[in-house]
Chain A
Amino acid sequence: FAGLADVSISEDIPVEGEITVPVGSHSPDEDFSTLDEPVRDTIMRDLKAVGKKFVHVMYPKKSSTLLRDWDLWGPLVLCVSLALMLQGGSADSKDDGGPQFAEVFVIIWFGAVVITLNSKLLGGTISFFQSLCVLGYCVLPLTVAMLVCRLVLLAGSGTISFIVRLLVVLAMFGWSTLASTAFLADSQPPNRKALVVYPIFLFYFVISWMILTFTPQ
């Protein structure tokens, strides 16, 4: 090993290295450097999520990924459009439809909150906002029914139109209830499903009643 005894690094050879100091944890927004891009991306992402949920309501099949990404934009839009279509249809036409508009709002949101509380008290595993999200989105068939009813009423308000409206509203009411039950009832133990389903039934029944008894002045 004699040759190894004199191992030394010649001073002409630079010994160099780098130390990179990790700059904190990578927060997801470090990639965003401008305001425009991320906002547009965020908006598109949220819009796509809302659209996907609307489609899911029309073809209800249980999907847990859908439930996990809850948002309340869809319910807001549906609530506003339903309330807009329902206003101005009561006996006292002196008002500009103000109270009825706020009434529809209060009924929908307060009703949804009560149903959610009920299902949580019964031991459901679904979270508060998820349940609000599902109930809100399932108002979509009834909003479609309202649209159809208004169109039918433009044609006339006799017995035939009443029967047509009744059938449409009944069909959509059944659809709403089934769609929301498909999502919500599974989070309950089996002997309690009926206890959870009947408030949902009542909720959509009240909305359907408001739609069916709507008569324009």
Chain B
Amino acid sequence: RGAAGGRWRGSPGPSPLTDSPPQALVDDTEDVSLDFGSEEELALRKAKIRHPVATFFHLFFRVSAIITYLFCDWFSNSFVACFVTILLLLSFDFWSVKNVTGRLLVGLRWWNQIDEDGKSHWVFEAKKVPTITASTEAEARIFWLGLIICPVIWTVFLFSTLFSLKLKWLALVIAGISLQTANLYGYIHCKLGGQKSISRTMSRFFVTADVPKRQTRRISEDHIEEHGKTDTN
């Protein structure tokens, strides 16, 4: 009779005529269905790639730098123009992977912080709890593949430059390797640093889901509520 255990929304209280819990009445009235949100959120949940622009740019700068390096003779006769173009592409790639795509595609971030005494710290951060805009498997796979394959390709270029003695490209290849390896190292460090606390966080997440059902838990501002077990007697 009393709603001592929870709050019913969208359905009437227990029937004054019978003592049975009003489950039979629920069908006649509003739907007490769990509502996952709007259509867009549903589509977002189902999509394989939730951040198409970020994924595109993650690969765009790296691959263009490699293609420009390989085919620079076709684009322009001038060494200087190719050098500057590739260098700019590599710098934009470094900045975007470090500041944008890592954060969006895999929820990791790393940066350098200098505190007041002038000591520098490298900070590696990993996002722990997934949200609705978190990354998917496909995105994470694309991210890591792009991150690993490109430094390997630049290392191959390094050896080919050394052995074919086209030394004027050496500075550029070394710059490419250092920029891409820096991102790779930073993200691997983030990932490994996050592993330790992942098991701890997951167990905490599951334990709160089993919190005794007498309490209502607010999941979103809207209509989702877990109805507790009601003892109507």
Contacts and interface: CB of A to CB of B under 8 A. Distances in A.
Contacts of A84: 80, 84
Interface residues of B, number: 48
A23 interface: yes
Contacts of B51: 35
Nearest to A130: B114
A96 B78 contact: yes
Contacts of B100: 35, 38-39, 42
Contacts of A24: 128-129, 201
B168 A11 contact: no
Contacts of B215: 17-19
Given A42-B100, A98-B168, A23 B217 contact: no
B119 A127 contact: yes
A102 interface: yes
B91 A16 contact: no
A39 to B, nearest CB: 6
A96 B83 CA distance: 13
Interface of A: 10-21, 23-25, 27, 29-30, 33, 35, 38-39, 42, 46, 64, 67-70, 73, 76, 80, 84, 87, 96-99, 101-102, 105-106, 125-130, 187
Interface of B: 1-4, 6-7, 51, 53-54, 77-80, 83-84, 87, 91, 95, 99-100, 103-104, 109, 112, 114-120, 125, 127-129, 131, 133, 168, 170-172, 201, 208, 211, 215-218
Given A39-B100, A67-B118, 6 more contacts: A15-B4, A97-B79, A98-B80, A101-B80, A125-B118, A187-B118
